């Protein structure tokens, strides 16, 4: 593993203050010195001076320059401004700014086998310029491909929707899904010197060919889930009513009267429309 080594480089303005007077002096030497043999020395000084001037380069804010000498990594210059380094160094520019992109809309099957469309937005930045340059071939393409792979893998591990609060779903638990997605992408991109700052689902829908059918299924599932809660609540209320009536000795119920009361309460509590009261002036037995 090649790790980043920050290299301190010389100020370019200081080198300019040295090299420009030398270049001017060499030109004056060539122009005003008469013997030809002495002019040769002035020309040599000028050539060396121009070669040294080639070592000047700019470092912008939030940018790094990866320095290599004949293929060998020698460090990364991060101090912004005009800088000077060995003119034989190659100086590759690497942006350290925060960047983001949106993955393509991927068509995958969730854990239940339902085809869905999903896309995500990934916010990332380079934190190790050496790994970004030398551990992968093209780190920007690597980020895009690995992010799409992580989104696809995450979508296959969870259902599109779930009526249970304990079961994590893509649609109902966006914060949890975002954290899982960020962690998985970050793990994949660690070897490329990239840190993932944030990732969120930007598009989530059933595939067009099953969208209508799944909508009806989703509505039916919601109705069943709601009815289940209503029945559970109604049974609890009926049980509580019977317990309180018996505890306070307001009335004693035999099995037939308990069945009638339970039936009436369940109709009132579980019915979709308002119930109409019926006044019974006779006996429950006649």
Number of other CB atoms surrounding residue 125 within 10 Å: 16
Residue 30 in domain: yes
Residue 153 in domain: yes
Which burial class, exposed, middle or buried, applies to 126 when counting CB atoms under 10 A from its CB (0-12, 13-18, 19+)? buried
Q: Do residues 107 and 202 share a domain?
A: yes
SS3 158: coil
What is the domain extent for residue 124?
99-206
Q: Do residues 144 and 172 share a domain?
A: yes
If one compares 203 and 42, the residue with the highest pLDDT of the two is 203
Q: Do residues 90 and 36 share a domain?
A: yes
User: Domain end: 95, 128, 156, which one?
Assistant: 95
CATH number at 179 reads 3.30.479.30
**Amino acid 38: pLDDT:** 66
User: Domain end: 160, 188, 206, which one?
Assistant: 206
Shortest CA distance to 6 belongs to which of 190, 129, 89, 131? 129
Does position 208 have pLDDT exceeding 90, yes or no? no
**Amino acid 274: pLDDT:** 62
Residue 189 in domain: yes
Q: Do residues 156 and 249 share a domain?
A: no
Number of other CB atoms surrounding residue 275 within 10 Å: 10
Average pLDDT over residues 225-232: 75
> pLDDT by residue (tens digit) across 90-128?
999 999 999 999 999 999 988 888 888 999 999 999 999
**Amino acid 185: pLDDT:** 94
Shortest CA distance to 149 belongs to which of 196, 200, 102, 103? 103
DSSP letter for 265, please.
H
Average pLDDT over residues 156-176: 83
CA 189 to each of CA 97, 127, 137, 185: distance values in angstroms, whole numbers, following the listed order: 16, 11, 13, 6
- Label residue 222 by pLDDT band (50, 70, 90): confident
User: Domain end: 206, 233, 261, which one?
Assistant: 206
Distance from chain centroid for Cα 111: 21
Does position 277 have pLDDT exceeding 80, yes or no? no
- Label residue 278 by pLDDT band (50, 70, 90): low
Q: Do residues 202 and 228 share a domain?
A: no
Residue 281 in domain: no
- Label residue 131 by pLDDT band (50, 70, 90): very high
Q: Do residues 89 and 122 share a domain?
A: no
Does position 228 have pLDDT exceeding 70, yes or no? yes
Q: Do residues 202 and 224 share a domain?
A: no
Residue 4 in domain: no
Lowest mean pLDDT among 77-81, 214-218, 272-276: 272-276
Q: Do residues 107 and 199 share a domain?
A: yes
Does position 259 have pLDDT exceeding 80, yes or no? no
Does position 27 have pLDDT exceeding 60, yes or no? yes
Q: Do residues 105 and 185 share a domain?
A: yes
Q: Do residues 168 and 78 share a domain?
A: no
Residue 54 in domain: yes
Q: What contacts 119, CB < 8 A, 6 or more positions away?
A: 102, 103, 104, 105, 106, 151, 201, 202, 203, 204
Q: Do residues 144 and 237 share a domain?
A: no
How many domains are there within the chain? 3
Residue 5 in domain: no
If one compares 31 and 201, the residue with the highest pLDDT of the two is 201
Lowest mean pLDDT among 74-83, 166-175, 263-272: 263-272
Residue 276 in domain: no
- Label residue 237 by pLDDT band (50, 70, 90): confident
**Amino acid 154: pLDDT:** 92
Q: Do residues 223 and 137 share a domain?
A: no
Lowest mean pLDDT among 161-175, 196-210, 269-283: 269-283
């Amino acid at each position: 593993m090649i790790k980043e080594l920050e290299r301190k480089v010389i100020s370019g303005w200081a080198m300019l203050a040295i090299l420009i007077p030398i270049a001017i002096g060499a030109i004056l030497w060539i122009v005003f010195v008469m013997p030809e043999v002495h002019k040769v020395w002035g020309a040599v000084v000028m050539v060396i001076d121009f070669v040294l001037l080639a070592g000047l380069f700019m470092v912008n804010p939030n940018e790094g320059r990866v320095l290599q000498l004949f293929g060998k990594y020698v460090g990364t210059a991060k101090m912004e401004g005009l800088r000077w380094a060995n003119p034989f160094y190659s100086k590759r520019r690497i942006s350290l700014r925060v960047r983001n992109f949106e993955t393509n809309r991927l068509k995958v099957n969730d854990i239940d086998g339902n085809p869905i469309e999903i896309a995500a937005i990934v916010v990332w930045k380079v934190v190790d310029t050496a790994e970004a340059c030398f551990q992968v071939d093209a780190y920007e393409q690597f980020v895009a491909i690995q992010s799409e792979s992580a989104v696809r893998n995450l979508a296959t591990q969870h259902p599109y929707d779930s009526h249970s609060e304990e079961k994590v779903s893509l649609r109902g638990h966006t914060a949890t899904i975002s954290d899982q997605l960020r962690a998985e992408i970050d793990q994949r991109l660690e070897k490329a010197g990239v840190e993932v700052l944030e990732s969120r689902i930007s598009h989530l829908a059933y595939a067009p060919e099953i969208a209508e059918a799944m909508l009806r299924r989703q509505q039916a599932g919601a109705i069943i889930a709601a009815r289940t809660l209503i029945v559970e609540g109604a049974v609890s209320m009926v049980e509580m009513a019977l317990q309180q009536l018996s505890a306070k000795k307001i009335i004693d119920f035999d099995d037939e009267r308990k069945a009638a009361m339970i039936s009436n309460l369940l109709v009132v509590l579980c019915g979709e429309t308002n119930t109409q009261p019926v006044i019974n002036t006779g006996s429950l037995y006649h």
